[in-house]
Amino acid sequence: MNGMELALDCVRFAYPQGRFTLALDALHVAAGERIAIVGPSGSGKTTLLNLIAGIITPEQGAVRLGETVINTLSDASRRAFRIQHIGFVFQDFSLLDYLNVLQNILLPFRVNPVLTLDANVTERARRCADELGLAGKLDRPIQQLSQGERQRVALCRALVTAPRLLLADEPTGNLDPRTKQHAMEVLTAQRQQSGATLLMVTHDHSLLSGFDRVIDFATLAQEAD
């Protein structure tokens, strides 16, 4: 599967109740490229990923994913586009504690009508979990997992929809060095298999060597009143 090209042009976004405003003149990521985004806390890295994923929409500018300008789509279409083409590993993993590992991995298929949950998907989820070292833990409740295991569940959930664009928001932030290294290996291997474009926010400079390009967000974006 090919990765997805990504381009942001003259994007401006402000949170309704806050003073924070993100302004980004241009960002272009080629299909299949691996990008690390670094920058100080509060500079808007997570906001950028949410804009790219279509979870939030800019006030001005365009977020283009492949041939689609995602911010011009309706809510429903944007949601459908996101779930079909984008995988997102959240900073806090965003796992539901009342579901077990496999149920969490398959959750996108249960809450989105555009995705169909069938035996093939379940098999793919099992295979993905197996590759991420979760094979024997599919029936475990989330609370019984370590941070590293939770991170892998979140990664598996992001990958099970076979995304063309993988967004990861500090996925190694809560991990110890050994687990962190392993997680990166897994992420890299999985991305290599799928060929997906990867954008990962990180504070950890030891991981940057594995990326094609590193963007310092402080120089890329502007913060304005």
Please pick, from the candidates 20, 77, 90, 222, the single residue that binds another protein as defined by CB under 8 A.
90
CB nearer to another protein: give 32 or 58.
58
Please pick, from the candidates 16, 19, 98, 119, the single residue that binds another protein as defined by CB under 8 A.
98
CB nearer to another protein: give 82 or 126.
82
- Strands ordered across the beta sheet of 6-14: 68-69, 60-65, 6-14, 21-29, 221-223
Structure-block tokens of residue 130: 């197996």
Contact predicate 154/93, CB 8 Å: yes
Only one of the segments 14-22, 59-67, 91-99, 172-180 lies at the binding site for another protein (rule: CB under 8 A); that segment is: 91-99
CB nearer to another protein: give 13 or 211.
13
Please pick, from the candidates 17, 41, 67, 75, the single residue that binds another protein as defined by CB under 8 A.
75
Contact predicate 177/147, CB 8 Å: no
Contact predicate 56/47, CB 8 Å: yes
Strands (E) in the chain, as ranges, are 6-14, 21-29, 34-38, 60-65, 68-69, 86-89, 165-169, 197-201, 213-216, 221-223
Q: Does 76 contact another protein by CB under 8 A? A: yes
Only one of the segments 31-39, 65-73, 88-96, 203-211 lies at the binding site for another protein (rule: CB under 8 A); that segment is: 88-96
Measured distance CA(160)–CA(164) in Å, rounded: 11
Only one of the segments 10-18, 82-90, 174-182, 200-208 lies at the binding site for another protein (rule: CB under 8 A); that segment is: 82-90
Q: Does 45 contact another protein by CB under 8 A? A: no
> ∠ at Cα 24 (28, 198), nearest 5°?
40
Contact predicate 52/8, CB 8 Å: yes
Contact predicate 159/190, CB 8 Å: yes
Residues contacting residue 178 through CB under 8 Å, at least 6 positions apart = none
Please pick, from the candidates 1, 96, 189, 224, the single residue that binds another protein as defined by CB under 8 A.
96
Q: Does 63 contact another protein by CB under 8 A? A: no
User: Which helix (H) or strand (E) segment is 105 a member of?
Assistant: helix 101-105
Only one of the segments 11-19, 93-101, 129-137, 173-181 lies at the binding site for another protein (rule: CB under 8 A); that segment is: 93-101
Only one of the segments 26-34, 78-86, 183-191, 207-215 lies at the binding site for another protein (rule: CB under 8 A); that segment is: 78-86
The site for another protein (CB under 8 A) is made up of 53, 55, 75-76, 79-80, 82-83, 88, 90, 94-99, 103, 107-114, 117
